[in-house]
């Protein structure tokens, strides 16, 4: 049988964190799977392609993402142990820096307690004693999750794909054309003129979902440009590396960051949604304006790094939905096509649980949380998930 004539049980389009984990779970369920990506697993153009991503449990407005994140952390750690790659998760702890009267952080405390997540509420005095390198304004406080931390993102996704391939998943480098018709999809065409046949399909294309599925998601996925900076720490200074320095979030200023991991520098990134971007053609050159804003944050929160040199930078993208909720739903035109995406800047950590959910839907059908439905996604942005 020729490769073009082969029919797989499932074709997964997109080898980012959602697609990789969907393929992994489907293969574990003894299904034949082809995983397709035009640039390769966790490529530089993909939202999953960065060096590091935060994994935290504190979320608002409810328990949904806290529970998913907790499930995912267990799956990540179990997987890393299985493939002898424990270094891909770093238990740095995660610190949510809160302003006086921060209602969002107060609600997050309630949710963490409800889900039985280990955490601490730190006062400004506690912070001054434990993390003196962080400048905390009067009345400032924080939530500390000691068991959360950082995932080495690009390498983590590639490890999942490598394990899936070892277990029998076929990995293909192909650009997939938008499917046409309705009812039951039997194949997808590639830009090279080939075709891939499968009994079911999962589209987990990240920032490309609006291009590959324009009828279903055109105008409802918003890829935005996001810049990440790495600042050099003073020589022989371990205050900004683990365990002295945790991963941190400062939602009041829309910034977050990670400690100096692998001696790559102190990471600072803005969580505010950037300008619209085309992931295929965007130049990945940092802007002087955004760099200056990051330096202002350093001077305000980490004064010892106020004059730190820039030692590295990345330009990636988010793939936002209208409100920040994921898309996990059946395609409205096809009975055997599922969509998984809309990571919206916070999705990476949830990859194992999202992949598990998608695999269950492909294998058994059923419904997902209404918040993940296509019907809940709008063409006007109003962020609700933090």
**Which of 26, 25, 31, 40 has the alpha carbon at shortest distance from 8?**
31
The first and second tokens of residue 229, run together, are 């900076």
Task: Answer yes or no: are the C-beta atoms of 157 and 354 closer than 8 Å.
Answer: no
For the chain, the structural domain boundaries read: 3-48+154-220+323-376, 91-148+222-319
Q: What is the pLDDT of residues 138-182, one digit of tens each?
A: 999 999 999 999 999 999 999 999 999 999 999 999 999 999 999
Residues 68-72, mean pLDDT to the nearest whole number: 98
Residues 96-113, mean pLDDT to the nearest whole number: 96
Other Cβ atoms closer than 10 A to 300: 14
For a pLDDT cut of 90, what percent of the chain falls above it?
96
The first and second tokens of residue 120, run together, are 């601490």
Q: Which fold has domain 3-48+154-220+323-376?
A: FAD/NAD(P)-binding domain (3.50.50)
**3-48+154-220+323-376 and 91-148+222-319 in the same fold:** no
Residues near 69 by Cβ (< 8 Å), separated by ≥ 6? 55, 56, 57, 59, 349, 350, 353
Q: What is the mean pLDDT of the chain?
A: 96
Residue 1: pLDDT band with limits 50, 70, 90 = very low
User: Which of 3-17, 120-134, 176-190, 294-308 shows the lowest per-residue confidence on average (mean pLDDT)?
Assistant: 3-17
Per-residue pLDDT for 201 more than 70? Answer: yes
How far apart are the C-alpha atoms of 123 and 136, rounded to whole Å? 10
Q: Which residues pair with 278 in a beta bridge?
A: none
Q: What is the pLDDT of residues 309-368, one digit of tens each?
A: 999 999 999 999 999 999 999 999 999 999 999 999 999 999 999 999 999 999 999 888
How far apart are the C-alpha atoms of 53 and 154, rounded to whole Å? 9
How far apart are the C-alpha atoms of 370 and 329, rounded to whole Å? 9
The first and second tokens of residue 133, run together, are 């390198």
Residue 3: pLDDT band with limits 50, 70, 90 = low
> Which SS3 state, helix, strand or coil, does residue 71 take?
helix
Q: What is the pLDDT of residues 269-324, one digit of tens each?
A: 999 999 999 999 999 999 999 999 999 999 999 999 999 999 999 999 999 999 99
For a pLDDT cut of 70, what percent of the chain falls above it?
99
User: Which of 3-12, 22-31, 112-121, 334-343 shows the lowest per-residue confidence on average (mean pLDDT)?
Assistant: 3-12
- Per-position DSSP letters for 350-362, written without gaps between them: GHHHHHHHHHHHH
What CATH class is the domain 91-148+222-319? alpha beta
Q: Read off the pTM.
A: 0.97
Task: Answer yes or no: are the C-beta atoms of 178 and 213 closer than 8 Å.
Answer: yes
How far apart are the C-alpha atoms of 244 and 92, rounded to whole Å? 9
Per-residue pLDDT for 85 more than 90? Answer: yes
Residues near 112 by Cβ (< 8 Å), separated by ≥ 6? 57, 58, 66, 119, 143, 145
Q: What is the pLDDT of residues 39-59, one digit of tens each?
A: 999 999 999 999 999 999 999
Per-residue pLDDT for 385 more than 50? Answer: yes
Residues 49-76, mean pLDDT to the nearest whole number: 97
How far apart are the C-alpha atoms of 215 and 339, rounded to whole Å? 13
**pLDDT in the model for residue 2:** 45
**pLDDT in the model for residue 131:** 98
Q: Which residues of 192-221 are buried (b: 16+ CB within 10 A; e: fewer)?
A: eeeebebbbbbbbbbbbbbbbbeebbeebb
């Amino acid at each position: 049988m020729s490769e073009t004539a082969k029919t797989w049980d499932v074709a997964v389009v997109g080898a980012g964190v959602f697609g990789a984990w969907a393929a992994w779970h489907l293969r574990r369920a003894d299904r034949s799977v082809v995983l397709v990506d035009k640039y390769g697993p966790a490529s530089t153009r993909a939202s999953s392609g960065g060096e590091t991503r935060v994994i935290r449990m504190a979320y608002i407005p409810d328990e949904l993402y806290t529970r998913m994140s907790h499930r995912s952390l267990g799956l990540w750690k179990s997987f890393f142990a299985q493939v002898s790659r424990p270094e891909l998760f770093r238990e740095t702890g995660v610190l949510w820096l809160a302003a006086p009267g921060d209602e969002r952080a107060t609600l997050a405390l309630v949710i963490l307690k409800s889900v039985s997540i280990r955490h601490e509420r730190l006062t400004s005095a506690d912070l001054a004693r434990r993390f003196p390198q962080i400048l905390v304004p009067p009345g400032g406080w924080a939530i500390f999750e000691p068991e959360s931390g950082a995932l080495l993102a690009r390498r983590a996704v590639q490890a999942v794909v490598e394990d899936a391939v070892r277990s029998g998943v076929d990995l293909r480098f192909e650009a997939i054309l938008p499917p046409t018709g309705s009812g039951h999809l039997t194949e997808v065409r590639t830009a090279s003129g080939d075709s891939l046949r499968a009994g079911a399909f999962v589209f987990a294309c990240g920032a490309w979902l609006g291009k590959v599925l324009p009828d279903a998601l055109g105008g409802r996925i918003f890829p935005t440009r996001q810049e990440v900076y790495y600042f050099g720490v003073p020589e022989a200074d371990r205050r900004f590396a683990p365990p002295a320095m945790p991963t941190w979030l400062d939602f009041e200023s829309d910034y977050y960051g990670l400690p100096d991991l692998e001696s790559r520098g102190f990471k600072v990134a803005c969580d505010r949604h950037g300008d619209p971007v085309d992931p295929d053609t965007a130049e990945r050159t940092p802007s002087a304006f955004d760099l200056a804003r990051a330096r202002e944050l350093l001077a305000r929160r980490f004064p010892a790094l106020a004059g730190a040199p820039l030692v590295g930078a990345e330009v990636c993208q988010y793939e936002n939905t209208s409100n920040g909720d994921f898309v996990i739903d059946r395609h409205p035109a096809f009975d055997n096509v599922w969509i998984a995406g809309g990571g919206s800047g916070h999705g990476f950590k949830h990859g194992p649980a999202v992949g598990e959910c998608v695999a269950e839907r492909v294998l058994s059908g059923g419904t997902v949380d209404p918040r993940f439905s296509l019907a809940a996604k709008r063409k006007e942005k109003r962020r609700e998930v933090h």
